[in-house]
Amino acid sequence: MWEARAADGRGAELLGWARERLLPALAGAARLELFSAPGERVLVIAWWPEGVQPAEAVEPPAGLLARPVHRWSFRSEYVISELPAESDR
């Protein structure tokens, strides 16, 4: 997981940078998701095939960031792919 907070007023620019530069750098991931959030945050979650070493994420230009990028590695423990309908709960 890769998460960054954009400098004030630069959230859209950071999102565009992630789409154009970060996602291609992570080619080889089984799945990539790009999110935006309030507070000009951008998040990328990458799923890597078992046994594959994750690619090193490229760094955004320092002027785009309000603080350093945060990175975490997680291991999937449990997945629900379809939630029951509200009427079935």
pLDDT tens column, 50-67: 888 888 889 999 899 999
More confident residue, 62 or 20: 20
Confidence of residue 73 (pLDDT cuts 50, 70, 90): confident
More confident residue, 72 or 16: 16
- How far from chain centre, in Å, is Cα 73? 11
The pTM assigned to this predicted structure is 0.83
Between CA 6 and CA 46 the distance in angstroms is 20
Between CA 46 and CA 44 the distance in angstroms is 6
Tell me the pLDDT of the chain averaged across its residues: 91
Mean pLDDT calculated for residue range 2-22: 97
